[in-house]
Structure 1
């Protein structure tokens, strides 16, 4: 038997980004590995650049079940940003747009089309391999009382209900999904036990896909590839 940490993910909007080039900012149809580890890191109070992030990336394994697919929406997004300048650090938005700009300087306007998942719900599963620095108990407690604000992909996407983390023992993550039962008041959101599952657990009987969401460098935001297995919804055939 193996221990697994499971928790719910629901919000009016989510944005689990994938490779973005140019003005389009697409999203995945479910939470990504890097996004889930970032959510855990924020709950633990770990900031970008902290070496503890390497332990999270090295020791954690993830799986996600889709409980409610939601719908895709696109936002025509404009943002004003100052020109890049060495040695100039901004602490507030006012400094970016007003007080730290040169007298004749005007901020640039960046235009993008940003995708979001609206009204989607998922269940996440985390387990550890070769754990030395991480603990599921620490993750669970942090999700109950986050030290930094966790968000669902982008800072504009807060969670709409508690994560309801719970540690369960099971043979593997697929069995753990069947065992986990969140609070009753979320029953109208979650349709438990029949959604598709994406996992990095090695299940050779299911189709495997290559995804690019394995963190290589947190500061430079560089990502590598990994294998992910797709488990079809109960009663459906494999893709």
Structure 2
């Protein structure tokens, strides 16, 4: 099965699923609608174009570095009249790193691979004011499943964050993956995109499953000190 992996890292990210009016919240991890939008823009698709092929792919995300919730007050003025717009409260994730993946048809995955390497429209992390700080494209993995690919991928947290956990030789990372029939407890999130048309955006509910956490090696871990081994070599 072909799995496309993306690295979502930047100073700020914001992935809304219930944002309305003057309060613009963010989920704790990237949403499917946000990532599908990123892929569609890389392909050069207009907001009014069909996105059913992208929406049909199975989506999952691994939390490599959860980041910190940040609140900002946003002010703006109307472009033509100069009138002040209502003050809005906006939330972001600062210094977060995620590994997102989509699983689908090999031809579509290859098309997306090429698009991410030479995108038509520049990618952003949920909002246009949130550019990525690293290349988004991580690679295509041929794994039995999306879950296996997320479990096997190395840890992409920032080096300073890895050093903060240097006493741990293995770290556990949360995974949120699109639920399938037979999965255990499932959360519902309204981030299954139907249309990005600005005149009538549409989203459906999507089941999100939290499987056992991935266990990955920490490259910044302290070396293991074994005094018995030193005595044996003397």
TM-score between the two structures when normalised by the length of structure 2: 0.79
- Please say if residues 10 and 159 of structure 1, whose CA atoms lie closer than 8 Å, have aligned partners that are also in contact: yes
Q: How does 1:71-150 map to 2 (within 5 A)?
A: 71-81=68-78, 96-97=79-80, 105-128=81-104, 131=105, 135-150=108-123
Tell whether 2:130 aligns with 1:166.
no
Question: In terms of mean alpha carbon deviation, does 200-209 or 218-227 score higher?
Answer: 200-209
User: Does 1 or 2 have the higher relative contact order (CA < 8 Å, sep 6+)?
Assistant: 1
Q: CA deviation at 1:222?
A: 2.2
Residue equivalent to 2:53:
55
Q: CA deviation at 1:142?
A: 1.3
Q: CA RMSD in A?
A: 2.4
| Selected match of 1:152 from 125, 143, 148 | 125
Once residues 7 and 83 of structure 2 are traced to their aligned partners in structure 1, the CA distance between those partners, rounded to angstroms, is 40
Between the two proteins, the alignment pairs up a number of residues equal to: 206
The alpha-carbon distance between structure 1 residues 182 and 145, as it changes in their structure 2 partners (threshold 3 A), is: farther
The alpha-carbon distance between structure 1 residues 202 and 79, as it changes in their structure 2 partners (threshold 3 A), is: same
Q: CA deviation at 1:121?
A: 0.3
Once residues 13 and 21 of structure 1 are traced to their aligned partners in structure 2, the CA distance between those partners, rounded to angstroms, is 20
- Please say if residues 68 and 189 of structure 1, whose CA atoms lie closer than 8 Å, have aligned partners that are also in contact: no
| Selected match of 1:221 from 192, 201, 208 | 201
The alpha-carbon distance between structure 1 residues 203 and 181, as it changes in their structure 2 partners (threshold 3 A), is: farther
**Deviation sequence 1:58-82 (CA, Å, 0-9, x none):** x31100000000000010111112x
Tell whether 2:24 aligns with 1:25.
yes
- Please say if residues 18 and 27 of structure 1, whose CA atoms lie closer than 8 Å, have aligned partners that are also in contact: yes
- Please say if residues 64 and 155 of structure 2, whose CA atoms lie closer than 8 Å, have aligned partners that are also in contact: no
Q: CA deviation at 1:180?
A: 3.0
**Deviation sequence 1:107-140 (CA, Å, 0-9, x none):** 3422100000000000011011xx59x6111111
Q: CA deviation at 1:223?
A: 1.5
**Deviation sequence 1:47-99 (CA, Å, 0-9, x none):** 21012x23222x31100000000000010111112xxxxxxxxxxxxxx33xx
Secondary structure at the residue paired with 2:102? strand
Secondary structure at the residue paired with 2:85? strand
Q: How does 1:7-22 map to 2 (within 5 A)?
A: 7-22=6-21
Q: CA deviation at 1:221?
A: 1.8
Tell whether 2:166 aligns with 1:188.
no
Secondary structure at the residue paired with 2:64? strand
The alpha-carbon distance between structure 1 residues 201 and 170, as it changes in their structure 2 partners (threshold 3 A), is: farther
The alpha-carbon distance between structure 1 residues 193 and 60, as it changes in their structure 2 partners (threshold 3 A), is: farther
Once residues 19 and 6 of structure 2 are traced to their aligned partners in structure 1, the CA distance between those partners, rounded to angstroms, is 28
Once residues 177 and 215 of structure 1 are traced to their aligned partners in structure 2, the CA distance between those partners, rounded to angstroms, is 22
Residue equivalent to 2:166:
none
Q: CA deviation at 1:207?
A: 2.1
